[in-house]
């Protein structure tokens, strides 16, 4: 894992370009504290901050081929590099290193732009074809690794993080109000947009080519929710179980110490149990929990898995004081706000892991691929009703729906229905926005959905393309902030493709989420974990903490700086905080987003340092 950056269209300004690249690399030093490297010619400059994982001695970047006609800077891992290297050697290629970076160069020589189809990995890289004067940017299929770019006059900038782009004096700091409004409503920003008008994300599964003129993007992969014939539960269970094992096996390749996050949920437990069986030594595992009550504490499940697998386990208990002390720094690491307050414990656990290992495995993706959230019940029953009307579930037709509904209310109704009612009564987040941003919120885009999908598949598609991107953003930034590499085996593209091909009835059954995933993990994960129905995620007690620090929050939002930024309606923001303090409504999620956009503006638009932003001391 590393940080990459570059500037195209330098027109021979080598010394000026190199100085800018040095600043861009330096601001991403957390992504690559082990080494740095630069390449400049009359057309382009490339920069790299390295976190050494594979071929520590010889894998320096930027890396070139034998005749120096190709140069590459690379962030991520090509997990099947061993197999690809063997194939390329058989085709006559010569290697100077054992690194996966060199595999990218020789794969391009052999296959041209179709080389990305050969990679199983998480990656964002820039390849400079000097002979063709062509720059090629690529991002992995799922979007695990980030890549941003900006066009500024004749110059084209790219980097792993937005803050690196801002080190160029030509990159404008102009707020995209529509993106801020969308985040406040959805907790993430869709598509290629960012909080800055001139900065875009390269979408997952895309290439960008710059060969004189304007850059062009092309899609090389997308997930397809097929309507193929049902292969049967046994087939899917067997295939998924094998793919999980193979995916974890590939992601255990490392020349440095490796461990795993362990939350006690089904996904991370599956990864830990699988890895433990494949290793010849105890796996190091890392977890966090809070002392604010059972709603925020999964230690009983975490320890059960750790003991069952014989892991070398490490735990940390994040505190309210830590949260308020580092919240500004978290916003800085994130580049722009996204999803919820789980970023805080993730960062703390990553910092703990960084004291012991340089690589961690995690369980991201299982909920979005195999329907792990309670929100999937509604589209599930919509599709069930449709199928029953069509008599696709047997001759009993609609009658087959009755026992399924009954089991849902028995298994989930007690916990999930009150949550659903609370969400219905919550006011829209757009009410706290300034008048200008409220108008933008009313025009939020709707992602186009491929035709022919049922309601269940539609929700899975949107979550894979939108919500999961926010989770991966946090996964990347919190791990990189601690200078460790995070790998997510469940998001191997082969697993994604298999999950998309399954009929929805295998993903949810009898009111049980992730039904088929549970079956595939049955031979390796303790039954007490598989039987869990209390999906928790990584809950953070911000509802309690915001009440305790209510006076400081009121002082923060009831200030002229809020008016000057023009993002929030000051009066309504204060009202929300007061309602939360009085216990009238739980506004913790909304307050979290309000805090994030205000702090983001201070750091990325006004250019303040993290220590210059307002603190939240006890009053």
Closest CA to 272 of 316, 471, 264, 484: 264
Pairwise CA distance, residues 475 & 200, whole Å: 20
Domain spans of the chain?
2-218, 223-277+297-317+333-535, 542-612
The pLDDT assigned to 396 comes to: 45
Residues 6+ apart with CB under 8 A from 110: 88, 91, 93
- Active site residues per annotation: 2
Whether 102 contacts 66, CB under 8 Å = no
- How high is the pLDDT of residue 612? 74
CA angle 132, 101, 89 (to 5 degrees): 85
pLDDT of residue 193: 96
pLDDT-flagged residues of the chain (< 70): 1, 12-14, 227, 389-428, 536, 614-619
Helix (H, G, I), strand (E, B) or coil at 285: strand
* Of 315, 334, 571, the residue nearest 472 (C-alpha): 334
pTM of the entire predicted model = 0.93
Instruction: Give the phi and the psi of residue 536 in degrees, each rounded to 5.
Output: -115, -30
State the pLDDT at residue 515: 95
Handedness of CA 213, 214, 215, 216 (dihedral sign): negative
- Retrieve residue 222's tokens: 């997308």
pLDDT given for residue 619 in this prediction: 43
pLDDT digits (tens, 9 = 90+) for 346-400: 999 999 999 999 999 999 999 999 999 988 988 888 887 877 766 554 544 555 5
Cα diameter, the chain: 77
Closest CA to 7 of 151, 192, 203, 202: 151
The size of the chain, in residues, is 619
How confident is the model at residue 421, as a pLDDT?
45
Positive or negative, the Cα torsion across 555, 556, 561, 563?
negative
Q: Could you give the CA distance from residue 372 to residue 156 in angstroms, rounded to a whole number?
A: 40
CATH 3.40.50.300 fits 2-218, yes or no: no
Instruction: Identify the CATH assignment for 223-277+297-317+333-535 out of 3.40.50.1460, 3.40.50.11540, 3.40.50.620, 1.10.287.370.
Output: 3.40.50.620
Q: Which residue has the tokens 């010849």?
A: 280
């Amino acid at each position: 894992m590393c940080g990459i950056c570059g500037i195209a269209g330098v027109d021979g300004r080598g010394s000026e370009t190199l100085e800018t690249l040095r600043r861009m690399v330096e601001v991403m030093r957390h992504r690559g504290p082990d080494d740095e490297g630069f390449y400049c010619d009359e057309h382009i400059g490339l920069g790299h901050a390295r976190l050494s994982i594979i071929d520590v001695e010889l894998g320096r970047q930027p890396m070139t081929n034998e005749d120096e006609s190709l140069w590459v800077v690379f962030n991520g891992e090509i997990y099947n590099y061993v197999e690809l290297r063997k194939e390329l050697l058989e085709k006559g290629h010569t290697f100077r290193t054992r690194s996966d970076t060199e595999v990218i160069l020789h794969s391009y020589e052999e296959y041209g732009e179709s080389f990305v189809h050969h990679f199983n990995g998480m990656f964002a890289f820039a390849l400079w074809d000097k002979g063709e004067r062509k720059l090629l940017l690529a991002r992995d299929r799922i979007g695990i690794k980030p890549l941003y770019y900006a066009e500024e006059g004749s110059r084209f900038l790219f980097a792993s993080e937005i803050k690196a782009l801002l080190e160029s004096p030509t990159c404008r700091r102009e707020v995209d109000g529509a993106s801020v409004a969308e985040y406040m409503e959805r907790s993430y920003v869709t598509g290629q947009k960012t909080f800055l008008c001139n900065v875009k994300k390269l979408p997952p599964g895309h290439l960008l080519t710059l060969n004189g003129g304007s850059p062009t993007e092309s899609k090389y992969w997308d997930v397809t929710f097929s309507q193929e014939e049902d292969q049967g539960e046994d087939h899917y269970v067997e295939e998924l179980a094998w793919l999980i094992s193979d995916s974890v096996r590939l992601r255990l390749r490392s020349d440095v110490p490796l461990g795993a996050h362990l939350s006690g949920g089904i996904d991370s437990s599956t990864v830990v149990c699988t890895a433990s069986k494949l290793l010849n030594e105890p796996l190091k595992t890392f977890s966090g929990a809070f002392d604010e009550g059972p709603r925020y504490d999964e230690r009983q499940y975490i320890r059960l898995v750790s003991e069952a697998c014989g892991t070398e386990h490490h735990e940390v208990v994040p505190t309210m004081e830590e949260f308020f002390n580092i919240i500004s720094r978290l916003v800085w690491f994130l580049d722009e706000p996204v999803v919820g307050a789980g970023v805080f414990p993730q960062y703390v656990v990553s910092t703990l892991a960084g004291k012991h290992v340089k690589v961690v495995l995690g369980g991201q993706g299982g909920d979005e691929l195999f329907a792990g959230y309670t929100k999937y019940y509604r589209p599930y029953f919509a599709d069930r009703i449709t199928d029953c009307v069509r008599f696709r579930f047997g001759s009993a037709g609609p009658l087959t729906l009755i026992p399924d509904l009954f089991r849902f209310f028995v298994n989930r109704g007690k916990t999930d229905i009150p949550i659903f009612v609370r969400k219905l009564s919550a006011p829209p987040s757009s009410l706290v926005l300034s008048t200008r941003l409220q108008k933008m919120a009313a025009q939020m885009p709707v992602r186009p959905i491929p035709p022919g999908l049922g309601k269940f598949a539609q929700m899975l598609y949107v979550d894979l393309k939108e919500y999961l991107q926010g989770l991966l953003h946090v996964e990347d930034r919190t791990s990189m902030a601690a200078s460790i590499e995070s790998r997510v085996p469940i998001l191997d593209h082969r697993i994604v493709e298999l999950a998309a091909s399954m009929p929805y009835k295998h993903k949810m059954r009898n009111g049980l989420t992730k039904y088929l995933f549970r079956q595939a993990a049955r031979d390796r994960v303790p039954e007490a974990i598989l039987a869990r129905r209390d999906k928790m995620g990584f809950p953070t007690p911000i509802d309690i903490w915001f009440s305790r620090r209510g006076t400081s929050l009121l002082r923060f939002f009831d200030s002229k700086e809020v008016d000057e930024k023009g993002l929030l309606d000051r009066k309504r923001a204060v009202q929300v905080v007061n309602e939360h303090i009085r216990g009238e409504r739980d506004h913790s999620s909304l307050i979290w987003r309000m805090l994030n956009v205000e702090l983001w503006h201070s750091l990325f638009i006004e250019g303040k340092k993290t220590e210059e932003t307002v603190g939240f001391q006890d009053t």
